[in-house]
Amino acid sequence: MAPEPVIEVNGLTKQFGRGKVLAVDDFSFTVERGQIVGLLGQNGAGKTTTLRALLGLVRPTKGELRIFGTTVRPGIAELSRVGALVEGPGFVPHLSGRRNLEIFWRAGGRPVPEAHLEAALEISGLGTAVDRAVKGYSHGMKQRLGFSQALLGSPELLVLDEPVNGLDPQQIVEVRDALLRLAADGVTILLSSHLLSEVEHTCSHVVVMHQGRLIQSGSVEAVTASVASAYLEVDDPEAALRLLGSLRGVTAATTSPPGIVVALSGASRSDLVAALVAGGIAVDTVVARQSLEDAFLQLLEAEKS
Amino acid sequence: MIQVEFAKQLRRIRTVVVAAICVVVPVLIGVGSYLSSNDSSGGGGGGDSSLQFATRHAGLVVGIESLSLASFLLIPIVFAIYAGDTVASEAKWGSLRYLLVRPVTRPRLLTSKLVVAAVLAVATAMLIPVVGTIVGVAFFGWHPIQTVALSGSAGGGASLGGFLGVPPVHFVTFSPGDAFARLLLASAYVLFGAVSVLGVSFLVGVATENTLAAVSAGIGVYIVSAIVEAISGLRSIRPVLPTTYLQGWSNLFVPGSAPTAMWHGVVVAAIWAVATIGLAYAVFRRRDIVS
């Protein structure tokens, strides 16, 4: 018997108010135990709404969400196995960082020692600032405290919305390392991001969404392999763009100085070179590119057309 | 959860400011009373109460007058602030979503918020008659008080007092202990009446997550109610207004008068509270938390 997925989302649809705009539209994905899954999309793609629905904060218009095999409803007990950071941290401003985490933990009714408060505060790296009122914290400090809060009580699942937002590059690396360590310990992680590089360097799997809909999901390798692109340096980039843009099997062509990037869907790199040479354009360099960024842009481009 | 909620609310500057106002007001009333006791013209203008005291210069009278003056505006403001801000501020801080994911079930969250808001509102508002009494006793001493009773007046709210026909008056004396007990009962009545404000502010706070809207709505209920009361064409809805029986407690200081107005006031306040708080639970159960 295959182990039960930690998260199952089936046909999630969410419409706010009576407007016709769907924040999330028939969206499905699963997250297996131990995976680090990146929920990737531009701002407004519906990532946060999906995470809120997963935590029982927002009621689906249609569809079903399950965590640990249980249908999500507001306040279900399974949420105590989840650590969350959704749309920025939220703390009582006049209390200290430490007091905030204590109060947060005690509200749930599990014994205080189970929180492993000191270990979580250690991760925040706030030092003596944990005993100062939160209202004096910088955005980055609050974000780090929020990350610590999510880790209280050793959760089995972490749901993190833009976890590195507002952090400086060194802190981003620290968070990334912490996530990889947690995953190595068997914690399942779902994080949302609009930063491709973040997802690419941290996640094992990726779910790409755009305008509320699923574009593609799978392992990072599988998603990047599903699309191909090429970087070329030519003597006349503008002429090359015109020529390649209308070529069969090419999804998109854009400049990427000093060269151009061409997203492929059927055409091979040798097809490109042949077409350019036939068009009288000299080709200097051809490089195969398969980063998640290329894949993402290409998937979005394909969605628009 | 309730313990946690107390820890959160007690240290707020807002709590301190509201409590300070509830101490300053009765102190000012006491000082005013003391200063006016030195000039021969006597008191005059002791609130809107239909209650007439033979002398305003008694310790317990300051407590009673503090309650009377505060019952129309200060007490409803205290209730509106505590009830309206409790969920709205949590939403504004961004901590509401984390509590719910903790998880704290939605009814449990509302109950702990409501209980703590009500306890703090009552404790703060009780400062008014209690501090008033302490200040009054300090200035004038712990003496019996005398009220002026109109013969044959039974029941009757604020609107019934009058000089028409000049009915015979007689004085009634209450021992200090008796008067203080009646003051506490009167305070309980006024505070219970303010649960209509508490309910409305709580409901609007839960529904809009906006503190200002919630507090205004609660105070607005008393203001609108008092205006409607004054419009003769709308006389028919007076019995369900939360302010109609606000002064019903004055019967406590008129022996022989039936407490009809007070019972009516208790029922009206209870109906307002049950309706608004019930609706708040229903709204919160279904609400999408997007704060």
Domain boundaries, chain A: 7-224, 228-289
Predicted ipTM beyond 0.95 = no
- Cβ distance B103 to A95 less than 8 Å, yes or no, reads no
Range among A277-286, B43-52, B70-79, B138-147 rated most confident = B70-79
Polymer length of chain A: 305
Q: Which residue type occupies B75?
A: I
Residue owning tokens 């005993």? A131
Using pLDDT thresholds of 50, 70 and 90, give the confidence band for residue A119.
confident
Using the Cβ of B14 and the Cβ atoms of chain A, whether some distance falls under 8 Å is answered with no
Contact at 8 Å (CB) between B97 and B291? yes
CA of B94: which chain A residue's CA is closest?
A: A90
Residue owning tokens 């000082």? B31
* Residue B71 to residue B193: CA distance in whole angstroms: 9
Instruction: Report the pLDDT averaged over residues A235-252.
Output: 82
- Cβ distance A108 to B103 less than 8 Å, yes or no, reads yes
Using pLDDT thresholds of 50, 70 and 90, give the confidence band for residue B168.
low
pLDDT value at residue B26: 96
pLDDT value at residue B50: 61
pLDDT value at residue A172: 87
CA of B288: which chain A residue's CA is closest?
A: A58
Measured at the CA of B270, the angle between CA B266 and CA B276, to 5 degrees, comes to: 150
More confident residue, B153 or B59: B59
Centre a 10 Å sphere on the Cβ of residue B65 and count the other Cβ atoms it contains. 25
Using the Cβ of B2 and the Cβ atoms of chain A, whether some distance falls under 8 Å is answered with no
Using pLDDT thresholds of 50, 70 and 90, give the confidence band for residue B198.
very high
**Closest to A75 (Cβ–Cβ): which among B1, B105, B288?**
B105
CATH architecture observed for domain A7-224: 3-Layer(aba) Sandwich (3.40)
Domain covering A228-289 assigned CATH 3.30.70.100 in the classification: yes
- Cβ distance A16 to B288 less than 8 Å, yes or no, reads yes
Contact at 8 Å (CB) between B238 and B244? yes
pLDDT value at residue B39: 60
Q: Which of A276-290, B8-22, B33-47, B50-64 has the lowest mean pLDDT?
A: B33-47
Shortest Cα distance, chain A CAs vs residue B93, angstroms: 5
**Closest to B289 (Cβ–Cβ): which among A58, A104, A149?**
A58
- Cβ distance B288 to A58 less than 8 Å, yes or no, reads yes
Measured at the CA of B198, the angle between CA B193 and CA B199, to 5 degrees, comes to: 100
- Cβ distance A75 to B289 less than 8 Å, yes or no, reads no
Residues of B in contact with A59 (CB under 8 A): 286, 288
Q: Is the dihedral of CA A171, A176, A182, A185 positive or negative?
A: negative
Residue B185: half-sphere exposure toward Cβ, Cα within 13 Å = 15
Using the Cβ of B92 and the Cβ atoms of chain A, whether some distance falls under 8 Å is answered with no
Shortest Cα distance, chain B CAs vs residue A98, angstroms: 13
Give which of B241, B228, B248, B201 is closest to B77, Cα–Cα: B201
Instruction: Report the pLDDT averaged over residues A273-302.
Output: 78
**Closest to B95 (Cβ–Cβ): which among A58, A74, A92?**
A92
Q: Which of A137-151, A186-200, A277-291, B67-81 has the lowest mean pLDDT?
A: A277-291
Mean of all residue pLDDT scores within chain B: 87
* Chain A residues near any Cβ of chain B (below 8 Å): 16, 52, 55-59, 74-77, 79-80, 82, 84, 86-95, 99-100, 103-104, 106-109, 149
Give strand pairing partners of A70.
A67
Q: Which of A51, A52, A57, A79 to mutate to test the interface with B (most CBs of B within 10 A)?
A: A57
- Cβ distance A52 to B290 less than 8 Å, yes or no, reads yes
Using the Cβ of B238 and the Cβ atoms of chain A, whether some distance falls under 8 Å is answered with no
- Cβ distance A108 to B8 less than 8 Å, yes or no, reads no
- Cβ distance B3 to A94 less than 8 Å, yes or no, reads no
Shortest Cα distance, chain B CAs vs residue A287, angstroms: 45
- Cβ distance A79 to B98 less than 8 Å, yes or no, reads no
